[in-house]
Structure 1
Amino acid sequence: MELSYWELKNWFTNIDYTIVGSGIVGLHAALRLRERFPGAKILVLEKGMLPQGASTKNAGFACFGSLSEILEDLKTHSEEDVINLIEKRWKGLQLLRKSLGDSAIDFKPYGGYELFLKEDESGFNECISKLPFINEILKPLFKSDVFSKEVDRFGFENIEEYLIFNPFEAQIDTGNMMQELLKKAISENILILNQQTVTSYADLGNQVEIVLNNFSFKSQKILFATNGFANSITKGAVQPARAQVLITEPIQNLDIKGTFHLDRGYYYFRNVGDRILLGGGRNLDFETENTIEFGQTKIVQNKLEDLLKNVILPNQDFQIAHRWSGIMGIGNSKNPVVTQLSENVFCGVRLGGMGVAIGSLIGTELADLI
């Protein structure tokens, strides 16, 4: 890369903090650093044209975990861990709303619902029987019951008669959220460069050398906010997980409003105005979906269309308008990795598919490691 004196001077000289990744975590980290260090020179590097990964590709769920997901987490995590995770997600959502404003992110508190396929009767029965217990352990945080049983009024088919309702869940406009966050960062004199891939870095003790393809520069600190792409820097603590998503053309007289979960959170859908957005299905083929490659597969897409046709929109005509995918960061634990890797290198990654809920908080925690 051939750079002019001006480019070197303004963009790559006397950098205090370099953040890799311009998604929810990266930009919140940058904004928190600006708050703490008003005079610092902050540079954000993004490998995509837009925030690559999940920040602009997620379904826009302001959620903290469905009942079946929480019960699933209790099988591999302690009760205290699970409650702490839910608290972090809830606090993260409040921080996101406070920092950007409900109207800017098109926050709609329609509530969330979990539905159960007829063939998952045992899963449904387990959730119903454990519902009072989960409400009890979450009461100190929410001051009222989180989950309740409701009769399906949406006309779904091939499901159990009752849905589980959560009044604390909402939906947001993912595109609006990221545009607002980018605008805020730019207004705070944070430099953002897109289509820049960090190929390597070296902590020199007093600063970090950062290599971008054929060009390198120095920064006092580097903070990685690359979530699903953080496998190499965390020595395997983060695994990528692809999520495939589709959205329909507008549907006349659509009577579905809210956010909906199915099968322990492996499927999720919502209305976007009068369209249905539906995603998930990586549990059909974990091996293929643990990838950093974007794209769709027949096995997942066929299942999503089957759910639309036989469960969500039975006896209705619909057309698929668009399909896409995003890359999440998961691991053996649902706890995020927010840590110092060496003297001048830090990371905030592994959001476990809860980036909208937890991203703002993790970005803030990442910046506060310095």
Structure 2
Amino acid sequence: MELSYWELKNWFTNVDYTIVGSGIVGLHTALRLRERFPEAKILVLERGMLPQGASTKNAGFACFGSLSEIMEDLKTHSEDDVVNLIEKRWKGLQLLRKRLGDSAIDFKPHGGYELFLKEDELGFSEYISKIPFVNEVLKPLFKADVFSKEIDRFGFENIQEYLIFNPFEGQIDTGNMMQALLKHAISADVLILNQQTVNSYLDAGNHVEVVVNDFSFKTKKLLFTTNGFANSLTKGAVKPARAQVLITEPIHNLDIKGTFHLDRGYYYFRNIDNRILLGGGRNLDFEQETTTEFGQTKIVQNKLEDLLKNVILPNQDFQISHRWSGIMGVGNSKSPIVSQLSENVYCGVRLGGMGVAIGSLVGTELADLI
């Protein structure tokens, strides 16, 4: 690409901080850097037309973990680790809401629910019995019981009699959130360039040489916020996880409101604009869904449609309007990686499918490493 003197001078000269990735983490990093360094030149590079991973492709759940997810995490993490992670997600949600405002992100506190399929009698009994224990563990953080049993009032079929309700959960409009974040960043004099791929970089000690497309420039600090695309950066500690999603056409008199979890969080659905948005199913084929390639597969899409027909919208006519996918970053640990990779290079990645909740906090923590 041939750059003019003006382009080089205004965008690629005397750059203090370069952030790779314009998603939730990247823009919160930029905003926090601007708070700390009012005069700094901050550049954000994004390889997609829009944020490439999951920031504009997620389901818009303002959640911090369903009961079954928390119980599964307790099997592989210490109780302190699980509580600390939930606290970070909760604080991240408050930071997101405070920074952008509930109106701008269309936050709706409808609460969250967890469903258990009819055939999952064993899992249902186990998780229901753990409600008092988990509530006690979380009480210091929320000052109230988080989970309770409720009779299904939504007309679902082929599920257990009770749903598990969480009054602290809500939903947002993902598109509105990202537009609001972008407006904040631009108004804070953050330079954002799309369709810019970082091919390589070299930490030279007093600066970082960054190769973008077919030219290079220097920056004092380089920060990666590429989440699901950070496998090579973290030596395999982050694995990509594709999430497939579909949404229905508007449904007349839709009476479903809230965010809903199913099968330990591997499926999730919600109401939006009189439609049902439903995603998940990577547990049907973990190997195939451990990919950075966008797209849909028959095995997952067929299962999503089956859940719509037989569980979520039984005896109702519906049409699928649209399908898409997003790339999350997961790993053996649910804790995000916020670390310094070399003298002038940093990363904030591995959000574990909780980017809406924890992304703002990870971005802030990343900026505060400098």
Q: Match of 1:259?
A: 259
* 1:110-149 paired onto structure 2 within 5 Å: 110-149=110-149
Letter in 1 for 2:168: F
Distance 1:55 1:12 in 2: 26
Q: Deviations over 1:238-292 (max 9, x none)?
A: 0000000000000001000000000000000000021000000000000000000
> What residue is the counterpart of 2:216 in the other structure?
216
SS at match of 1:206: coil
Secondary structure at 1:97's aligned position in 2?
Answer: helix
Cα distance in 1 between the residues matched to 2:257 and 2:69: 21
Provide the residue aligned with 2:321 in structure 1: 321
Q: Distance in 1 between matches of 2:214 and 2:103?
A: 43
2:170 aligns with: 170
Aligned to 2:336: 336
Where in structure 2 are the equivalents of 1:351-370 lying within 5 Å?
351-370=351-370
Q: How does 1:297-308 map to 2 (within 5 A)?
A: 297-308=297-308
Q: Gapped runs of 5+ residues in structure 2? A: none
Identify the residue that residue 188 of structure 2 maps to in structure 1.
Answer: 188
Q: How many Å apart are 1:326 and its aligned residue?
A: 0.1
What is the match of residue 232 of structure 1? Answer: 232
In the TM superposition, residue 157 of structure 1 has moved relative to its aligned partner by 0.2
Give the Cα separation in 1 of the matches to 2:173 and 2:52.
17
| Equivalent in the alignment of 1:269 | 269
Number of the residue aligned with 1:93: 93
Report the Cα distance in structure 2 between the residues aligned to 1:293 and 1:122, rounded to whole angstroms. Answer: 36
- How far residue 214 of structure 1 moved from its aligned partner, in angstroms, is 1.2
Match of 1:350 in 2: 350
Q: Partner amino acid for 1:67? A: L
SS at match of 1:45: strand
Which residue type is aligned with residue 58 of structure 2? N
Alignment of 1:24-63 (within 5 A): 24-63=24-63
Partner residue, 2:199: 199
CA distance in 2, matches of 1:273, 1:61: 15
Q: Match of 2:269, as an amino acid? A: F
> What is the rounded CA distance, in whole Å, between the counterparts of 1:123 and 1:91 in structure 2?
30
- Structure 1 residue identity aligned to 2:306: D
Q: CA shift at 1:213, angstroms? A: 2.1
Q: In structure 1, what is the Cα distance between the partners aligned to 2:88 and 2:283?
A: 25
Q: SS of 1:199's equivalent?
A: strand
Which amino acid counterpart does residue 66 of structure 2 have in structure 1? S
Aligned to 2:218, what secondary structure does the other structure show? strand
Q: Secondary structure at the match of 1:119?
A: coil
2: CA distance, partners of 1:273 / 1:7: 42
Q: Deviations over 1:35-71 (max 9, x none)?
A: 0000000000000000110000000000000000000
Secondary structure of the corresponding residue to residue 13 of structure 1: coil
Counterparts of 2:3 and 2:253, CA distance in 1: 56
Partner Cα distance (1:107, 1:265) in 2: 21
Would you say 1:84 and 2:112 are equivalent positions?
no
For residues 138 and 293 of structure 2, what CA distance do their matches in structure 1 show? 37
- 2:66 aligned partner: 66
Match of 2:107, SS state, is: coil
1:107 matched residue in structure 2 = 107
Task: Tell me the amino acid that sits aligned with residue 318 of structure 1.
Answer: F
Q: RMSD of aligned C-alpha atoms? A: 0.3
Tell me the matched-pair count. 370
Letter in 1 for 2:71: L
Paired residue type of 1:369: L
* CA distance, structure 2, for counterparts of residue 118 and residue 74 of structure 1: 25
**AA at the equivalent of 2:330:** I
